[in-house]
Structure 1
Amino acid sequence: MRCPYCGGDETQVKDSRPTEDNTAIRRRRVCSTCGGRFTTFERVQLRELTVVKRNGRRVVFDREKLARSVQIAVRKRPVDPEKIERMISGIVRQLESSGESEVQAEDIGTLVMEGLRGLDDVAYVRFASVYKNFREARDFEALLGELNADGTPVNGGPEPEADES
Structure 2
Amino acid sequence: MKCPFCNQENTRVIDSRPADDNSAIRRRRQCDECGKRFTTYEKVETIPLIVIKKDNNREQYDRKKIEAGVLRACHKRPISAKQISDLVDEAENDIFNQEVREIDSSLIGEIVMDKLKDLDTVAYVRFASVYREFKDVNTFMDEIKKILN
State the TM bucket, normalised to the shorter chain: 0.7 to 0.9
SS in structure 2 at match of 1:77 = coil
Residue 94 (1) aligns with residue 63 (2): no
- Name the counterpart of 2:78: 78
CA distance in 2, matches of 1:129, 1:30: 48
- Name the counterpart of 1:131: 131
CA distance in 2, matches of 1:23, 1:68: 22
CA distance in 2, matches of 1:118, 1:51: 25
Q: TM-score, normalising length from structure 1?
A: 0.70
Q: TM-score, normalising length from structure 2?
A: 0.76
Amino acid at match of 2:100: E
* Structure 2 unmatched runs, 5+: none
* Structure 1 unmatched runs, 5+: 150-165
CA distance in 1, matches of 2:56, 2:121: 31
SS in structure 2 at match of 1:54 = coil
Paired residues, number: 144
Point out the more displaced range, 19-28 or 50-59: 19-28
Amino acid at match of 1:134: F
Matches for 1:95-110 after TM superposition, within 5 Å: 95-110=95-110
CA distance in 2, matches of 1:27, 1:50: 30
Residue 61 (1) aligns with residue 70 (2): no
Aligned partners of 2:15 and 2:27 also within 8 Å: yes
- Name the counterpart of 2:141: 141
Aligned partners of 2:94 and 2:111 also within 8 Å: no
CA distance in 1, matches of 2:69, 2:142: 23
Q: Are residues 124 and 44 of structure 1, via their aligned partners in 2, closer, same or farther at CA, if it must alter by over 3 Å?
A: farther
Matches for 1:36-51 after TM superposition, within 5 Å: 42-51=42-51
SS in structure 2 at match of 1:87 = helix
Amino acid at match of 1:148: L
Aligned partners of 1:47 and 1:96 also within 8 Å: no
- Name the counterpart of 1:163: none
Q: Are residues 105 and 148 of structure 1, via their aligned partners in 2, closer, same or farther at CA, if it must alter by over 3 Å?
A: same
- Name the counterpart of 2:115: 115
Amino acid at match of 2:127: F
Amino-acid identity (%): 37
